[in-house]
Amino acid sequence: MVEGIKVIPENCKGCKLCVPACPFGAIEIVNKQAIITDKCVLCGACVGACKFNAIVIEKREEAPKQDLSAYKGIWVFAEQHAGHTQSVAFELIAEARKLAQDLKEEVSAVFLGSGDLKGQAKELIEYGADKVYIASDAHLKDYLTEPYSEVIVELINKHKPEIFLLGATTTGRDLASRIAARIRVGLTADCTALDIDPDKKIIRQTRPAFGGNIMATIISPNYRPQMSTVRPKVFKKLQKDPSRKGTVVEIKPSISQKSLRTKIIEIIQSTEKKVNLAEAEIIVSGGRGIGCAENFKLIQGLADAIGGAVGASRATVDAGWISQFHQVGQTGKTVSPKLYIACGISGAIQHLAGMSSSDIIIAINKDPYAPIFDVATYGIVGDVLEVVPAMTKKFKELLA
């Protein structure tokens, strides 16, 4: 693990070889000495370029080696709000089942909350968990970083899972990073695909990188558990099976005083009328092609006519036409409705990253070569301002 970089003054000749070698323009020569500025990202390009061994990257001590064979099973963090298990937990269990088949291991879910949690545990088993660890305590009723991470770190240290998956939600992102830092393992955030390397039997975690222009596949070969957060709606949950049997393990959580520095005083529900985009079965999305903020009324009209929710491309959000809450895509929400209608959306890779797994995609665009047509089930080449009102009218007639 890299900690820092330094120039050894007695070795540095001020030859400037390192200056063009640095892709980040992070090296200046002052009084015949190389100075590394805070633009440095520790890529190490200058180290190889220096002929005088004047630049060194200092390494921090590695975390102690683990006995990897002691780690078994795939764990899923079962996120809850107000006691209700979030859909992402069921989606992750479904994916964990596939990974478990390759590894021939069991799938466990971890549910933290307060009161009697046996009903939630049963539901997690019905959706595919073999074992559910439940920890009930008044301090675990609502999510708080410190008590949740303390309880889960203790569980991980005791039971040693090989893989630990969390939803890339606000809660999951916060919790995963805290846990990974405490147990000194890597974390691949915001994954969109997971699979098992058939030879090494480790998880391959795929996520968009460099602004979504490439997909990076990341492995954590040396430490356990291998941790990932996964975007909601990337995987589909299994059919609920009430006949499934599993084991419920009740944990008596011990929460230290130092983990109780913050408390939730009140939860205030937003008064903004919010559609649950991630759960919507029909989404009508508007892009820059609709022309102006006012025309989102047409998108809303079509959505209302067919019982759908309104989505948007980032271009329209950036233009201030609609709130970020509606944004679909890599930096917005990942959705997987039965029907997605893309109106005046070009189909940039970052938009597709959030909606291409929709069952049926209808694209309306005046440009027949727009990339959105490559993923569309049905394409309508035409002016969105004519096509959308016509569709709304027809649907209203048909559904009256």
Ligand X SMILES: Cc1cc2nc3c(=O)[nH]c(=O)nc-3n(C[C@H](O)[C@H](O)[C@H](O)COP(=O)(O)OP(=O)(O)OC[C@H]3O[C@@H](n4cnc5c(N)ncnc54)[C@H](O)[C@@H]3O)c2cc1C
Residues that bind ligand X (CB under 6 A): 211-212, 287-289, 313-316, 327-332, 344-346, 348, 350-351, 354, 364-367, 370, 383-385
- Helices marked H in 26-117 — which ranges? 45-49, 87-103
Maximal CA-CA distance, the chain? 85
Place of tokens 């030859």: 15
* Three-state DSSP state, 47: helix
Q: Which CB sits closer to ligand X, 191 or 345?
A: 345
Q: For ligand X, give the closer residue by CB, 287 or 337.
A: 287
Tell me how far, at minimum, the Cβ of 390 lies from ligand X, in Å: 13
Residues 317, 326: contact at Cβ < 8 Å?
yes
12 vs 345, which CB is nearer to ligand X?
345
Q: What's the length of the chain?
A: 400
Min separation Cβ 288 and ligand X, Å:
4
Q: Is 243 helix (H, G, I), strand (E, B) or coil?
A: coil
> Judged by CB, which is closer to ligand X: 128, or 287?
287
* Of 223, 225, 227, nearest in space to 63 by CA: 223
Find how far residue 148's CA is from the centre of its chain.
19
* Backbone torsions φ then ψ of 201, nearest 5 degrees: 60, 40
For the bound state, the minimum distance from the C-beta of residue 393 to ligand X, rounded and expressed in Å, comes to: 17
113, 83 Cβ separation under 8 angstroms? yes
- Cβ–Cβ < 8 Å for 107, 79: no
What is the nearest approach in angstroms of ligand X to the Cβ of residue 383? 4
Helix (H, G, I), strand (E, B) or coil at 77: strand
What angle, rounded to 10 degrees, do the helices at 87-103 and 118-126 form? 50
Which one, 195 or 383, has the nearer CB to ligand X? 383
Question: Rounded to the nearest whole angstrom, what is the least distance from the CB of residue 380 to ligand X in the complex?
Answer: 9
Question: Whole-number minimum distance, CB 229 to ligand X, in Å?
Answer: 17
Nearer to ligand X (CB atom), residue 254 or residue 377: 377
From the CB of 88, what's the least distance to ligand X, in Å? 18
Closer CB to ligand X, residue 119 or residue 211? 211
Least Cβ distance, residue 8 to ligand X (angstroms): 39
Q: Is 225 left (phi over 0), alpha (psi -120 to 50) or beta?
A: beta
Q: Which residue is nearest to ligand X (CB)?
A: 329
Using an 8 Å Cβ cutoff, are 168 and 157 in contact? no
**Nearest distance from C-beta of residue 60 to ligand X, angstroms:** 31
Report CA-CA distances (Å) from 303 to 249, 292, 388.
Answer: 45, 18, 10
- Pick the closer one to ligand X by CB: 205 or 327: 327
By C-beta, is 110 or 380 nearer to ligand X? 380
The continuous run of DSSP H or E covering 166 comes out as: strand 163-167
Torsion from C-alpha of 121, 124, 129, 130, nearest 10 degrees: 30
Cβ(253)–Cβ(151) below 8 Å: yes
CA count, 13 A, side-chain hemisphere, 215: 13
Report, in Å, the least distance between residue 84 CB and ligand X. Answer: 27
Residue 66 DSSP class: P
Tokens 């394409």, residue located: 379
Whose Cβ is closer to ligand X: residue 108's or residue 358's? 358
